[in-house]
């Protein structure tokens, strides 16, 4: 029987095919009405009826229907975008944003919450109840609850504008990528490309009845071109197209960047903060923008000498190979010559490993690892109603056999799907219904009768995103509002999973040649292991440059407006590889920063911050054994399960017995 309100689903799993764009408006209206009824019960509490149960816990769960419906709509937007869905989301976006912003600006609600926080019952709370009360009070205070009326109105307006502008930013990036394709008829132009890349391009061409090959700006398509294509002209054309994402009309994001920065700066000042970075970081491990910036600058100083040596080495290598004068490379040459230098130094290429990484084998190896470490059991089950026929469905059970979650796996690119890889918690566990999640990416597709064969980077991506999923499935606090962690701690459970991809004992459990079934031979594995630090400082510096730009833009926006892209580029000389032609700015396509109202804005440093944590934490597994179940269960109990019931600093020290150290990250990144 079809649901009258498909976005407000109660069935597990939901019927995605019923979630039509034309249903969204009425469903959101209904969800908002329900949320308001729940909030009214709190607003109307008399003093003698105010309690933890009627006030704090009730508030924590008041907007569940709206949360789930809005999450479902945005999820579909990311995996099955259409003009109709875009229009529907754009129509409801202002009222959804206004409703959420209004909750924390509601005097009646805040008065009840505050009154309870001052009560004797509140003072006697401990454990997770005390923590949820503290988080709830902080949510109100940091969202403008104590602002005067006129400032509340302006803050609410800004939140609505930010939601619309960041949504448009993401749409422009998606549209720009979808609008470009490179058609090739002459096979000679494909020289140097690996077989998997050629097969994928042929598959794309066949779908469009073109007798040749089609390349796009999707990562599985463009990355092999930039890395392996011998044609400098081909690489340059693809690079220029990629550099135009978010820059060229009709999909330019240049004005949106300035507008978003200005609005964020204004909102933070309304709330009483010096800058936007401080407004979002004070409840994270970094505490404020200045501390996050110092962390990035300190790591930069430790990488700078090695970074310069790696750049000099690459330029010298090209000059030697081409019998020409040493000079800066073109931006479309860097990946190509780095790959050639890699092959020359180690006598192998990472592409040679692809035949050993069949998608299903990697997935099963990942599930087996999580079983060893955390005791969870992951099994594929029959696929329910989904948005695309390629999507698969899995169940996750605890060590005792309890169903703790189920998730959709959607790993191959489509024109209607956003780029990159990500995980999403579609609905938290509730009552007898387990958590529902999503893990997706844009990996190399099956082609020419071969299974999907992954690059090593894609293997790491798969492990990374599944680490996020396991983290959110294993959080077992009864309060939904505490099933989360600080943003600069959230990457620890995901990034630590990548470490197992470099260990022979782990790879031997799943990495087998898709034709022969043979394990990775020593003559491939040994140079692979030695190559882990190849251009490690350069890779680190790239991430640091993104984080540095992000923080400065959100700490000192006035210094970069009205042309932030141009001004940021001028200050990155010590953070980027010098090139003969100026490199392309990441900002116009930086959806992490500008594609959501907050997202990773002023928080991109989190990747490196958490990398310090993951390298340090993994050293304990290396000491005790990478499959040691005792260490795995300890990590699960002290890191994965606790959510926000303890601070991230306390959680890390509970596991390691001390504060984090940067030493392990430096050691695995560069040769000192």
- The percent of residues in the chain predicted with pLDDT above 90, rounded, is 90
Domain 16-146 has CATH 1.20.1050.40: yes
Q: What's the pLDDT at 420?
A: 84
- The percent of residues in the chain predicted with pLDDT above 70, rounded, is 100
**Is 516 exposed, middle or buried (CB count within 10 Å of its CB: 0-12, 13-18, 19+)?**
exposed
Q: How far apart are CA 647 and CA 551, in angstroms?
A: 23
CATH topology of domain 355-534+608-649: 1.10.1370
Q: Mean pLDDT for the chain?
A: 95
pLDDT tens across 240-261, in order? Answer: 999 999 999 999 999 999 999 9
Task: Report the pLDDT averaged over residues 277-291.
Answer: 94
Supply φ then ψ for residue 649, to 5 degrees: -60, -45
| DSSP code string of 117-166 | HTSHHHHH--HHHHHHHHHHHHHHHHTTTTS-HHHHHHHHHHHHHHHHHH
pLDDT at 672 over 60: no
Confidence tier at 431 by pLDDT (50, 70, 90): confident
What residue spans in the chain does CATH classification 1.20.1050.40 cover? 16-146
Supply φ then ψ for residue 513, to 5 degrees: -60, 130
pLDDT tens across 384-410, in order? Answer: 999 999 999 999 999 999 999 999 999
Q: How far apart are CA 152 and CA 145, in angstroms?
A: 8
Of 72, 77, 58, give the one whose Cα is nearest residue 11.
72
Residue with tokens 């004005």: 255
pLDDT tens across 126-147, in order? Answer: 999 999 999 999 999 989 999 9
Q: Which residues are catalytic?
A: 465
pLDDT at 1 over 70: no
Distances (CA, A) of 69 to 79, 98, 669: 16, 16, 43
Asked if residues 337 and 329 have their Cβ atoms less than 8 Å apart, the reply is: yes
What residue spans in the chain does CATH classification 1.10.1370.40 cover? 355-534+608-649
Supply φ then ψ for residue 153, to 5 degrees: -65, -45
pLDDT tens across 199-210, in order? Answer: 999 999 999 999
């Amino acid at each position: 029987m079809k649901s009258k309100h498909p976005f407000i689903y109660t069935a597990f799993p939901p019927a995605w095919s019923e979630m039509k764009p034309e249903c969204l408006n009425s469903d959101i209206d209904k969800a908002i009405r329900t949320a308001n009824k729940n909030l009214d019960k709190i607003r109307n509490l008399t003093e003698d009826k105010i309690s933890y149960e009627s006030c704090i816990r009730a508030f924590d769960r008041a907007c569940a229907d709206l949360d789930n419906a809005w999450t479902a709509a945005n999820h579909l937007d990311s995996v099955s975008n259409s003009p109709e869905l875009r229009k529907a989301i754009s129509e409801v976006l202002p009222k959804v944003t206004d409703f959420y912003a209004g909750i924390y600006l509601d005097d009646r609600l805040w008065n009840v919450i505050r009154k309870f926080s001052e009560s004797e019952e509140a003072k006697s709370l401990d454990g997770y109840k005390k923590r949820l009360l503290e988080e709830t009070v902080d949510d109100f205070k940091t969202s403008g609850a104590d602002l005067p009326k006129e400032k509340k109105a302006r803050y609410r307006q800004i939140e609505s504008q930010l939601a619309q502008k960041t949504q448009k930013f993401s749409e422009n990036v998606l549209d720009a990528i979808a609008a470009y394709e490179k058609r090739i008829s002459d096979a000679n132009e494909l020289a140097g490309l690996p077989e998997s890349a050629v097969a994928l391009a042929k598959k794309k061409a066949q779908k469009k009845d073109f007798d040749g090959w089609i390349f796009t700006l999707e990562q599985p398509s463009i990355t092999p071109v930039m890395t392996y294509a011998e044609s400098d002209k081909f690489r340059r054309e693809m690079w220029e197209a990629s550099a135009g994402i978010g820059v060229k009309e009709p999909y330019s994001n240049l004005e949106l960047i300035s507008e978003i920065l200005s609005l964020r700066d204004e909102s933070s000042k309304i709330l009483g903060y010096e800058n936007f970075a401080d407004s979002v970081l004070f409840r994270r491990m970094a505490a404020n923008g200045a501390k996050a910036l110092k962390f990035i600058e300190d790591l930069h100083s430790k990488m700078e000498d090695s970074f310069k040596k790696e750049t000099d080495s690459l330029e010298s290598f090209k000059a030697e190979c081409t019998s020409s004068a040493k000079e800066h490379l073109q931006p479309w040459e860097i990946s190509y010559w780095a790959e050639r230098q890699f092959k020359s130094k180690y006598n192998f290429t990472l592409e040679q490993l692809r035949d050993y990484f069949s998608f299903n084998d990697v997935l099963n190896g990942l599930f087996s690892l999580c079983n060893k470490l955390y005791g969870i059991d992951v099994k594929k089950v029959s696929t329910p109603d989904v948005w695309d026929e390629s999507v698969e469905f899995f169940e996750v059970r605890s060590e005792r056999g309890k169903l703790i979650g189920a998730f959709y796996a959607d790993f191959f690119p489509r024109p209607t799907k956003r780029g990159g890889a990500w995980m999403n918690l579609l609905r938290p566990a509730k009552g007898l219904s387990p958590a529902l999640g999503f893990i997706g990416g844009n990996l190399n597709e099956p082609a020419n009768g071969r299974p999907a064969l992954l690059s090593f980077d894609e293997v790491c991506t798969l492990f990374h995103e599944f680490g996020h999923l396991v983290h959110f499935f294993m959080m077992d606090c009864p309060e939904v509002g505490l099933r989360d962690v600080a943003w600069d701690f959230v990457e620890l459970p995901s990034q630590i999973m990548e470490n197992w991809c470099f260990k022979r004992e782990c790879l031997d459990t799943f990495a087998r040649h898709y034709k022969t079934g043979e394990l990775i031979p020593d003559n491939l594995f040994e140079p692979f292991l030695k190559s882990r630090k190849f251009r490690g400082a350069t890779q680190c510096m790239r991430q640091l440059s993104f984080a540095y730009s992000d923080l400065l833009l959100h700490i000192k926006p006035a210094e970069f407006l009205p042309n932030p892209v141009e001004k940021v580029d001028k200050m990155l000389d010590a953070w980027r590889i010098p090139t003969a032609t100026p490199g392309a700015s990441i900002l116009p396509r930086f959806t992490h920063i500008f594609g959501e109202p907050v997202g990773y804005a002023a928080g991109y440093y989190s990747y490196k911050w958490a990398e310090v944590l993951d390298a340090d934490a993994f050293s304990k597994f290396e000491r005790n054994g990478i499959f040691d179940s005792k260490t795995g269960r300890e990590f699960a109990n002290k890191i994965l399960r606790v959510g926000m019931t303890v601070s991230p600093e306390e959680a890390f020290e509970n596991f390691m017995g001390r504060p984090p150290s940067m030493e392990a990250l430096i050691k695995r990144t560069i040769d000192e």
